[in-house]
Amino acid sequence: MSPVINSKQPNAGTTIFTVMSVLAAEHNAINLGQGFPDFLMDEELVALVNAAMQKGNNQYVHMNGLITLRESLAEKINYLYAATVNPETEITITPGGTYAIFTALTTVLQPGDEVIVFEPAYDSYIPTIEINGAVPVLIPLTFPDYKIKWELVKQKISSKTKMIMLNSPHNPTGAVLSEYDIAQLRAIVKDTGIFILSDEVYEHLIFDGLQHQSMLRYPDLLERSFVCFSFGKTYHCTGWKIGYCVAPAALMSEFRKIHQFNCFSCNSPVQFALATYLQQKDKYLQLGNFLQQKRDFFANLMQQTKFKALPSYGSYFQLYSYDGISDESEKDLAIRLTKDYGVATIPTSVFYKTNTDNKVLRFCFAKKESTLEEAVNRLMKL
Ligand code: GLN
C-alpha cells in the first residue's frame, strides 16, 4: 500500500501570484499581476553583494542574521520611528516577509486560537493560521474605501482571540492605517493578552505625504507585536527573498526557536551588502516619491480606458473598478484580459475567503513607464 497524505491544506490551490504569472508568460502578456518591479534595482547594491562574495563572505552568518545588519536596522528604526530596538534580541533576519509572517503565526498560535483578519487579506494569512490549527475570524474592510470598522472588531473579540493581523500600506488595496486607527487599536488591546502581527513590507511605499503608522512608533503596541518587513519590496529585489521581523525580546526568543529549525540562517553576502547600503538614508527616503510618480503616471494613462481608479495611498498596487464595463467575475475578466488583451492583473476576490467580488482588479504599477504605456494601449481596446 502506498502512503497517502492527509492534507493540511485540502482546499488550497496554487497561489494566485504564480497562477497569473504563469498565464502571463504563456500568453506573452504584460504582467501587472504579481507584485515585482520590471526596472533594474540600484547597481550600487548589486556591486556591494558582488564585493561581499569576492571578499569571501560566503559562509553562514549567525542564525538570527548578520549582527552589523541588525545594528544598521536598529539605527534606522530609531531614526524613523524613535523606537529603541535591541539588535541582539529583538531583530531576526528572515528569507522574506512571508516567511517572517509564517514564523510569527507559528510561534504564537495554538489549536483553537482565534485570529482577527481583515479582508481583503494577503493570500498567505488565512492558510498559515489554519495550518497552525487556529481559526481566522474574518472582518470585511468597508468598500470601496477599505477602512476598518472598529465597532465590529470589538464585537468579534472573544476570550479565544490570540492575535490581530494588520497590514499597512495594504496589499491589495493600497489603504493605509491612520492615527485614528491606531487610537482605536490601542484602546482595544489595552489590558488584554492579544498579540499583533503587523505586515509592514511596504513601509516606505507610502504616498501623498502620509506618515506610515508603524507599530514601532507606539511602545504599548510594540510590546505585543511581531512587525514584518521586506528588503525585496524596499529595494526592488523581490527575488532575493530577504526580510526581517522585529519583536520584543521575550516574543523574539520564541520566534527564533521556530526559525532555527526551518531556514536557520539567510543568504550571507546579501546581508553584508545591506548592512552597508542601509547607512544611506536617502535610498529609502526617496522611495515613496518614486513610486508615487509611477502610480500617478499609470493612473493618468488609465483615464483613457473605461476602468475607474480606487484610491491607493501606498504599496505597489492600485485597484481599478470595471463596474459598468463587464458583468464577468474578477477571475474570468483577469483571465480574459491576460489571454485576449495581453495584460495580466490580480482578481481581488482571491483575497476574500468567500471570494467577495466587487468588480475590481489589482494592478501593479511598479513598472517602467514604457511597460505601463504599452499595458494601457492594450487596455484601451476593452
Ligand atoms: N507580494 C506579492 C504580491 O502581492 C507577491 C509575492 C508572492 O508572489 N508570493 O503580488
pLDDT at residue 73, as a whole number: 98
Q: What is the mean pLDDT of the chain?
A: 97
Cβ 124 under 6 angstroms from ligand 1: no
Nearest 5 degrees, angle CA 188-CA 89-CA 54?
A: 125
Question: 186, 183, 181: which is closest to 167 by C-alpha?
Answer: 181
Instruction: Give 102's pLDDT tier (boundaries 50, 70, 90).
Output: very high
pLDDT at residue 352, as a whole number: 97
Cβ 198 under 6 angstroms from ligand 1: no
Q: Please give the distance, rounded to the nearest whole angstrom, from the Cα atom of residue 20 to the centre of ligand 1.
A: 11
pLDDT at residue 346, as a whole number: 98
Q: Which atom of ligand 1 is nearest to the CA of 171?
A: 4
pLDDT at residue 29, as a whole number: 98
Grid coordinates given for 119 = 479582508
> Torsion angle of alpha carbons 100, 46, 236, 206, nearest 10°?
90
* 3-state secondary structure at position 362: strand
Q: What value does the mean pLDDT take over residues 163-168?
A: 98
Chain CA centroid to CA 375, Å:
24
Mutate to test the pocket of ligand 1, among 18, 171, 242, 363 (most ligand atoms within 8 A of CB): 171
CB 85 within 8 A of CB 106: no
Q: What value does the mean pLDDT take over residues 36-49?
A: 97
- Taking only the tens place, the pLDDT of each residue in 201-222 is 999 999 999 999 999 999 999 9
Grid coordinates given for 49 = 553583494
How far is residue 66's CA from residue 60's CA, in Å, rounded to a whole number? 9
- Taking only the tens place, the pLDDT of each residue in 124-153 is 999 999 999 999 999 999 999 999 999 999
Cβ 315 under 6 angstroms from ligand 1: no
The residues, any chain, with a CB within 8 Å of residue 312's CB and separated by 6 or more, are: 173, 174, 207, 295, 318, 319
Question: 360, 299, 356, 350: which is closest to 324 by C-alpha?
Answer: 360
The residues, any chain, with a CB within 8 Å of residue 15's CB and separated by 6 or more, are: 123, 124
Q: Which atom of ligand 1 is nearest to the CA of 124?
A: 9
Mind listing the domains of the chain with CATH numbers? 16-41+286-379 (3.90.1150.10), 44-283 (3.40.640.10)
How far is residue 81's CA from residue 47's CA, in Å, rounded to a whole number? 29
Q: Which atom of ligand 1 is nearest to the CA of 97?
A: 1
Q: Could you tell me the pTM of the whole model?
A: 0.97
Cβ 168 under 6 angstroms from ligand 1: no
By alpha-carbon position, which residue is closest to atom 9 of ligand 1?
A: 17
Cβ 171 under 6 angstroms from ligand 1: yes
Grid coordinates given for 337 = 484580459
Q: Which atom of ligand 1 is nearest to the CA of 17?
A: 8
- Taking only the tens place, the pLDDT of each residue in 289-342 is 999 999 999 999 999 999 999 999 999 999 999 999 999 999 999 999 999 999
DSSP conformational letter for 311: P
> Torsion angle of alpha carbons 270, 107, 97, 298, nearest 10°?
-170
Q: Looking at this protein, which amino acid is placed at residue 358?
A: N
